[in-house]
């Protein structure tokens, strides 16, 4: 996935003279995950810019750049280091179009490597998607594989409004995939069915798609055909596909890595019970991270949603 | 200008309000009578009148806004009484292609770029018609969270530099804002990338009820510039001519590739923080009396007349025209129809997502369409 992101970024820089990348250590070093490797050499240090270590400052500066016609794509080094920039994102970026009565937007993409499962130190494994999806004016997008990463990143750069583009870093070097030589822009609001099935739907996103797919394999061995719906868009949710999944399968389990309270899974469950209660054969169940700081890594496997936990929820839904 | 930030004009003489507090601040109005007359007569033709006229407009706007607040026509309003000089100078010292990044305190600077006064007044009336056209005037929407606008100005200016466009950006702020992290990050970044930006910090010594001594141990805010590697300049915030000079110098330096400048416009908050504020709770009203003579409009008027740059009748005419105009604007404030909630919802994203579409704004479809819920 990380190579696909690098290629999509190169494609954007080549196609759009106003696009530029900024972040910590993204130049010569190519970013701590190497997503921008080689890009500064190719496009110059006016287009691939190493910033001082100041997330509020450079995210704020990116807002100013976007106001005057540039198209900044900002890399935040790790998930939890977006918090210093939180105010700039939620009190400024998300409100800009609204402050112009809909007339002008900020073409701004925030790339945010996020999530656990990489044996990383404290505050390098957070999943803050719910925070951003709760705050008006921001789109939140999470790819799960290389192809979707390239297509959605391209779409994010063209959307004309700020996009929080969250990259499940655990997938950076997993799930290798052949991708097309050129990406075309994906649909920023569409979930994708990554596995067909009519008995039950597993809704997941980011690194949890892989977990859901593995669980679906095991369910198939039991004769349960599980659909896996990769959300991809966290705000807005793909309402049509979620309702279709509910109507088609009647049973839904939502998997998220983030803490449970006020999470995306809760929003999915609320949507289904408000709008598809008549179709449901079982309560919508959530398999989530826990309402505690993401554990130090010796315990992370116990805290992260796992195949057995998803299976247990899926079987409970089937047996309901 | 010398490296210590003092320029062609000397510092405010001791004995001016606040004494040492205004030490090192550039002044024109504080010059001896002859020097002052000479300075004003040496200004480009019409400039003194244009500055005065901009100040009268700002004053008329501010007074009208306070009246409208008392009448219940607009909501709480942050008066800038006493800051007309520095604000007028900031707009006139720059070119129209330069970008401004105001806060709640500079709500009317956009009207000095020909935006109708009714627009910012509407904002304080809680009407979205109060959001001015950002691109047309090259004035960002006002920023209410203190210090958040500094990084925006840096980014915009940096963008101008990357594209060799030759314009500069100016961000406003107050003494309190210099304690905030975004101020530090913005100053540092601006200096590192040599962004053509001016940080115009009006040190009125108060952040609501918090005096500057509780804000920082460095009462001369301009000194903070040294820590970032940029020039810091102090200027009398009540002196429109000195402010003009200092801001223009900073802008020229920025245009030449000389990077950012921190301008500290020092003075005193002559009015309350806003219409809901009661300063006597936290500061000695006698200090207000000491500072009252610094009120900038009268000071400017006296100096301009003394220098023979304009006749009193001409100034009176400008003043009364500004006040009349604002009275008429105030009378028209209620006319603009309020957009529907559906229209508001349609102004958040370019491509409005489903949760903001008219049929989804309220409760789920069965409730809104008065269909019977399936289980009833
Ligand atoms: C981040 C933030 N915290 C608190 C406030 C509430 N507030 C509004 S104005 C103000 C004082 C600001 O003082 P200063 O920066 O000196 O500017 P002045 O109001 O004097 O022009 C405060 C605390 C705010 N707007 N933003
Ligand atoms: Mg103040």
- pLDDT of B367 over the 90 cut: no
What was the pLDDT predicted at B21? Answer: 78
- Tokens for B308, please give them: 């023979």
**CA B312 – CA B305 distance, rounded (Å):** 6
For the beta carbon of residue B364, count every other beta carbon within 10 angstroms: 16
Quickly state the pLDDT bin for B372 (edges 50, 70, 90).
Answer: low
Question: B155 and A96 in contact by Cβ < 8 A?
Answer: no
Percent of chain A at pLDDT exceeding 70: 100
Which of A43, A61, A270 should we substitute to test contact with B (largest number of B Cβ atoms within 10 Å)? A61
Are A111 and A75 in a shared domain? yes
Q: What is the CATH number of the domain that holds A22?
A: 3.40.50.970
Are A48 and A134 in a shared domain? yes
- Tokens for A21, please give them: 């990348």
Task: Please report where in the chains the tokens 């720059």 appear, as a residue.
Answer: B94
Atom of ligand 1 nearest to the CA of B177: 15
What was the pLDDT predicted at A2? Answer: 95
Residue A261 lies in a domain: yes
Quickly state the pLDDT bin for B289 (edges 50, 70, 90).
Answer: confident
The CA-based diameter of chain B, rounded to the nearest angstrom, is 90
Count of structural domains, chain A: 2
CA distance B144 to chain A (A): 9
What was the pLDDT predicted at A224? Answer: 98
Q: Whose CA is closest to B106, among B50, B150, B144?
A: B144
The pTM assigned to this predicted structure is 0.94
Task: Please report where in the chains the tokens 């701004």 appear, as a residue.
Answer: A108
What was the pLDDT predicted at A23? Answer: 98
Q: Mean per-residue pLDDT for A156-172? A: 97
pLDDT in tens, A230-275: 999 999 999 999 999 999 999 999 999 999 999 999 999 999 999 9
Q: Which residues of A touch B145 (CB under 8 A)?
A: 87, 91-92
Residue A178 lies in a domain: no
What was the pLDDT predicted at B363? Answer: 77
**CA B217 – CA B227 distance, rounded (Å):** 14
Residue A302 lies in a domain: yes
Q: Whose CA is closest to A191, among A117, A128, A260, A254?
A: A254
**CA A279 – CA B374 distance, rounded (Å):** 10
C-alpha torsion B53→B54→B57→B63, nearest 10: -110
- pLDDT of B198 over the 80 cut: yes
Are A35 and A123 in a shared domain? yes
**CA B62 – CA A244 distance, rounded (Å):** 57
Name the segment(s) of chain B with CATH classification 3.40.50.970: 19-339
- Tokens for B193, please give them: 């990338």
What was the pLDDT predicted at B13? Answer: 33
- pLDDT of A279 over the 70 cut: yes
Question: B134 and A52 in contact by Cβ < 8 A?
Answer: no
The SS3 of residue A138 is coil
**CA B302 – CA B297 distance, rounded (Å):** 9
Nearest CA in chain A to B159: A65
- pLDDT of A12 over the 50 cut: yes
Residue A40 lies in a domain: yes
Catalytic positions of B, written as ranges: 269, 273, 282
Are A144 and A241 in a shared domain? no
**CA A74 – CA A54 distance, rounded (Å):** 12
Are A10 and A152 in a shared domain? yes
Average pLDDT, chain A: 97
Burial class of residue B324 in the structure, from the number of CB atoms within 10 Å of its CB (0-12 exposed, 13-18 middle, 19+ buried): exposed
Q: Which residues contact residue A128 at a Cβ distance below 8 angstroms, ignoring those fewer than 6 apart?
A: A79, A80, A82, A83, A112, A114, A258
Are A30 and A163 in a shared domain? yes
- pLDDT of B376 over the 70 cut: no
> Which stretch of DSSP H or E encloses residue B262?
strand B261-266
Q: Whose CA is closest to B16, among B313, B254, B310, B234?
A: B234
Contacts 24+ apart (CB under 8 A), B317-326: B318/B49, B318/B52, B318/B53, B318/B56, B319/B56, B319/B60, B322/B53, B322/B56, B322/B57, B322/B59, B322/B60, B323/B56, B323/B60, B323/B63, B323/B64, B325/B57, B325/B60, B325/B117, B326/B57, B326/B60, B326/B61, B326/B63, B326/B64, B326/B117
**CA A201 – CA A127 distance, rounded (Å):** 23
Question: Domain boundary residue among A171, A205, A226?
Answer: A171
What was the pLDDT predicted at B8? Answer: 42
Quickly state the pLDDT bin for B14 (edges 50, 70, 90).
Answer: very low
Are A161 and A220 in a shared domain? no
Q: Whose CA is closest to B54, among B331, B328, B250, B296?
A: B296
Q: Mean per-residue pLDDT for A299-307? A: 95
Q: Mean per-residue pLDDT for A283-289? A: 98
Residue A182 lies in a domain: no
What was the pLDDT predicted at B235? Answer: 97
**CA B260 – CA B265 distance, rounded (Å):** 16
Average pLDDT, chain B: 91
Are A127 and A217 in a shared domain? no
Are A156 and A299 in a shared domain? no
What was the pLDDT predicted at B114? Answer: 92
- Tokens for B3, please give them: 């490296």
Are A138 and A273 in a shared domain? no
Nearest alpha carbon, ligand 1 atom 17? B174
pLDDT in tens, A89-136: 999 999 999 999 999 999 999 999 999 999 999 999 999 999 999 999
**CA A105 – CA A211 distance, rounded (Å):** 37
> In this structure, are strands A48-50 and A19-23 parallel, antiparallel, or unpaired?
parallel
Q: Which residues of B touch A99 (CB under 8 A)?
A: 131, 134, 141
Question: Domain boundary residue among A122, A141, A171?
Answer: A171
Q: What is the CATH number of the domain that holds A212?
A: 3.40.50.920
Question: A102 and B134 in contact by Cβ < 8 A?
Answer: no
Question: Domain boundary residue among A105, A140, A171?
Answer: A171
Q: Quote the ipTM score.
A: 0.95
Q: Which residues surround ligand 1 with Cβ inside 6 Å?
A: B 105, 144-146, 173-177, 204, 206-208, 269, 273
- Which domain range does residue A294 map to? 192-319
The CA-based diameter of chain A, rounded to the nearest angstrom, is 59
- Identify whether B225 is preceded by a cis peptide bond (ω within 30 of 0): no
Are A31 and A88 in a shared domain? yes
The SS3 of residue B317 is helix
- pLDDT of B93 over the 80 cut: yes
pLDDT in tens, B32-78: 999 999 999 999 999 999 999 999 999 999 999 999 999 999 999 99
What was the pLDDT predicted at B370? Answer: 53
Q: Mean per-residue pLDDT for B314-323? A: 96
What was the pLDDT predicted at B371? Answer: 55
Are A240 and A203 in a shared domain? yes
What was the pLDDT predicted at A177? Answer: 85
Give whole-number Cα distances, B316 to A26, B64, B280, B295, in Å. Answer: 60, 18, 33, 17
Q: Mean per-residue pLDDT for A54-75? A: 98
Residue A179 lies in a domain: no
DSSP sequence for A20-77 = EEEETT-STT--TT-TTTTHHHHH-TTTEEE--S-HHHHHHHHHHHHHTT-EEEEE-S
Superfamily of segment(s) B19-339: Thiamin diphosphate (ThDP)-binding fold, Pyr/PP domains (3.40.50.970)
What was the pLDDT predicted at B366? Answer: 57
What was the pLDDT predicted at A180? Answer: 79
């Amino acid at each position: 996935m990380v190579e696909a992101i690098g290629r999509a970024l190169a494609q954007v820089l080549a196609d759009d003279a106003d696009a530029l990348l900024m972040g910590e250590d993204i130049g010569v070093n190519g970013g701590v995950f190497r997503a921008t490797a080689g890009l500064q050499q190719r496009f110059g240090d006016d287009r691939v810019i190493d910033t001082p270590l100041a997330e509020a400052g450079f995210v704020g500066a990116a807002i100013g750049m976007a106001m005057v016609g540039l198209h900044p794509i900002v890399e935040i080094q790790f998930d939890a280091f977006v918090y210093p920039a939180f105010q700039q994102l939620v009190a400024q970026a998300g409100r800009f179009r609204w402050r112009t009565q809909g007339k002008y937007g900020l073409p701004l993409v925030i790339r945010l490597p996020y999530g656990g499962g990489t044996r990383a130190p404290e505050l390098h494994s957070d999943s803050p998607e719910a925070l951003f999806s709760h705050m008006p004016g921001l789109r939140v997008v999470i790819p799960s594989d290389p192809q979707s990463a390239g297509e959605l990143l391209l779409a994010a750069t063209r959307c004309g409004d700020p996009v929080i583009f969250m990259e499940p870093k655990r997938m950076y070097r997993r799930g290798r995939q052949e991708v097309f030589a050129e990406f075309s822009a994906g649909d920023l609001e569409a979930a994708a069915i990554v596995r067909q099935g009519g008995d039950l739907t597993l809704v997941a996103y980011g690194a949890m798609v892989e977990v859901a797919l593995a669980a679906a394999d095991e369910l198939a061995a039991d004769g349960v055909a599980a659909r896996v719906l990769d959300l991809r868009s966290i705000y807005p949710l793909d309402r049509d596909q979620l309702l279709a999944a509910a109507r088609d399968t009647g049973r839904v389990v939502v998997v998220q890595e983030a803490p449970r309270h006020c999470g995306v899974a809760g929003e999915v469950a609320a949507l289904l019970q408000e709008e598809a209660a008549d179709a449901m054969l079982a309560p919508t169940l959530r398999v989530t991270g826990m309402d505690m700081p993401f554990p130090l890594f010796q315990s992370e496997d116990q805290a992260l949603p796992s195949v057995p936990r998803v299976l247990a929820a899926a079987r409970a839904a089937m047996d309901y | 200008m010398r490296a210590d930030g003092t320029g062609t004009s000397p510092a405010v003489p001791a004995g001016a309000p606040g004494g040492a507090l205004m030490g090192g601040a550039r002044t024109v109005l504080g010059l001896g009578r002859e020097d002052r007359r000479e300075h004003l007569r040496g200004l480009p033709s019409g400039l003194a009148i244009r500055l005065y006229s901009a100040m009268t407009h700002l004053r008329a706007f501010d007074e009208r806004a306070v009246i409208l607040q008392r009448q219940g026509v607009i909501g709480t309003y942050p008066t800038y009484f006493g800051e007309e000089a520095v604000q007028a100078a900031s707009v006139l010292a720059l070119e129209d292609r330069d970008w401004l990044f105001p806060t709640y305190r500079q709500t009317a600077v956009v009207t000095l770029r020909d935006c109708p006064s009714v627009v910012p007044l509407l904002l304080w009336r809680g009407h979205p018609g109060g959001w001015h056209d950002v691109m047309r005037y090259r004035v960002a929407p006002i920023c209410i969270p203190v210090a958040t606008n500094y990084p925006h100005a840096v980014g915009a200016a940096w963008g101008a530099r990357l594209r060799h466009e030759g314009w500069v950006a100016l961000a406003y702020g107050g003494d309190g804002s210099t304690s905030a992290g975004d101020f530090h990050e913005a100053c540092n970044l601006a200096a590192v990338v040599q962004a053509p930006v001016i940080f115009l910090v009006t040190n009125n010594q108060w952040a609501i009820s918090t005096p500057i001594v509780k804000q920082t141990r460095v009462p001369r805010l301009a000194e903070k510039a040294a820590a970032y590697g940029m020039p810091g300049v102090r200027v009398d915030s009540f002196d429109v001519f000195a402010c003009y000079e200092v801001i223009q110098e900073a802008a020229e330096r920025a245009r030449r590739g000389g990077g950012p400048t921190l301008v500290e416009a020092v003075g005193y908050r002559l009015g309350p923080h806003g219409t809901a504020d009661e300063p006597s709770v936290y500061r000695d009203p006698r200090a207000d009396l000491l500072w009252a003579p610094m009120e900038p409009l009268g000071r400017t008027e006296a100096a301009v007349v003394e220098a023979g740059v304009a006749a009193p009748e001409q100034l009176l005419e400008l003043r009364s025209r500004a006040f009349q105009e604002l009275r008429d604007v105030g009378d028209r404030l209620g006319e603009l129809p309020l957009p529907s909630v559906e229209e508001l919802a349609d102004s958040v994203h370019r491509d409005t997502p489903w949760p903001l579409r008219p049929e989804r704004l309220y409760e789920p479809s069965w409730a809104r369409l008065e269909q019977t819920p399936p289980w009833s």
